[in-house]
Amino acid sequence: MTHTELCESAKKWLVRPNSQRGHGCHVALSECRSGWGGEMPDAIGFRAAGRVTETVVVEVKCSRSDFFADAKKPHRADGEGMGLYRYFMCPEGLIRPDEVPERWGLLWVNARGKVTALLGPVALSNNCGTFEAVAAPWQHVRNAERETWLLVRVMARIDNPDKVKSTINSALREQARLVNICNAQADEIRTLKMQRSPIVLSEETPKATPRRVSPASI
């Protein structure tokens, strides 16, 4: 799988509910610059959980050299980077669990795109009632200001969020209306075909070819 394909898999995994071995994020973004130190998480998810806003960062690695170089990045120091929870995602078998830094999770993606958690809180529990207790040891000291800056920059790309939401809802209603029209027309065509079938069959029924009468048959 390509880096872009893995980033898309990471976004989908971030919003997957905990019951399906995901983090249940409400919002997931990919490859957004944070504005500090060149940090650009391959995917980041935000989840409003009670009084705490949880963030989950997924770093995609397509080569072992890229994985080992990650530790040298300045924003990997405690309190500098984003992500209350952090994971590496890679093609199946590329990174071993024993090679992953402390408190980082590990996600393998097979050739069919299935994501399997080998390390991290979601690898240990899919029970929402115990997830917080299981997840606590995996938490990082994060730069919340950097995360807020990222969200503001993303929102700034949208001129008027309420207007965009209204436009999308209107488009969805129009789509539903057109689908109903198409379905009604399909039903009408199906009915007309059924009504026409007996007529077509009677017209296309082959007639027996008259036998030639020979003198011997008289």
Residue type at 85 in one-letter notation: Y
Inter-residue contact 81 to 104 (CB < 8 Å): no
Question: For residue 110, what is the DSSP state?
Answer: -
Express each pLDDT in 83-116 by its tens digit.
999 999 999 999 999 999 999 999 999 989 899 9
What is the Cα–Cα distance from 124 to 143, expressed in whole angstroms?
Answer: 26
Instruction: Give the domain ranges of the chain.
Output: 3-157, 159-196
Question: For residue 98, what is the DSSP state?
Answer: G
Express each pLDDT in 161-200 by its tens digit.
677 778 888 899 999 999 999 999 998 898 888 887 766 5
